[in-house]
Amino acid sequence: MSISGYRLNDPSLPPSPFTLEMLDELKASLLFGPDDEAALRRALPIVSSQVEAILDVWYGFVGGNPHLLKYFSDNNGKPVGAYLDAVRARFGQWILDTCRVEYDAAWLAYQDEIGRRHHWTGKNTVDGHATVSHIPMRHVLALVIPISVTMRPFLTKTGASAEDVDAMHAAWVKSCLLQLTLWSHPYVQDGAF
């Protein structure tokens, strides 16, 4: 089943202004190395069977925080179910893509696109729903924590050793910060990113 608005590896996306060399430097800045890539790949089969349960936790968090739920809502503050559903399908795929670690030029182009979809330049252009037109950058970045803290219990569920859970979790945190940093690109002044 194709996921509406999912564009990883879509050659019609504009290329990212960000090069693979810049990506390598950014990985070095956050200590993201081959061991982390391997750990995320080990997490893939663990996480794959739990995607809906993970999304239930994340949606519970957003739903319980009115200052976040409003970005999934219309200008009268009413949550837009069809938008919540469309984002959810892409978010589930994003969990898997994060663990596959194919972080190449096509992936960079899609990170830029994901960033635009949070910023006023791109929000609501994908699904056509009339939700609030912009998610402040600070709340995008902050999501690193809830989507990391809540991941640990899922990583423990299929019998991995405590040491391996730690490794997978540490890699997950780094990848989330890497990605949410890239998503902040459309928010930043020219040349400041």
Of 20, 82, 130, 142, the residue at the interface with a copy of itself (CB under 8 A) is 142
For 92, the 3-state DSSP assignment is: helix
Tell me the closest approach of the beta carbon of residue 70 to a copy of itself, in angstroms: 11
Tell me the closest approach of the beta carbon of residue 126 to a copy of itself, in angstroms: 19
Interface pattern 30-49 for a copy of itself (x via CB under 8 A): xxx-----------------
Q: Footprint of a copy of itself on residues 110-139 (CB under 8 A)?
A: 119-120, 134, 136-139
Of 20, 96, 130, 149, the residue at the interface with a copy of itself (CB under 8 A) is 149
Strand partners, 73: 79
Q: Within 13 Å of residue 121, how many CA atoms lie on the same side as its CB?
A: 11
Of 13, 84, 89, 170, the residue at the interface with a copy of itself (CB under 8 A) is 170
Show the 3-state SS of 75-89.
CCCCECHHHHHHHHH
Asked if residue 179 lies in contact with residue 99, where contact means CB atoms within 8 angstroms, the answer is no
Closer of 55 and 137 to a copy of itself (Cβ)? 137
Comparing CA positions, the residue from 24, 25, 27, 33 lying closest to residue 167 is 33
Q: Footprint of a copy of itself on residues 56-85 (CB under 8 A)?
A: 65, 67-68
The residue behind tokens 């504009």 is 14
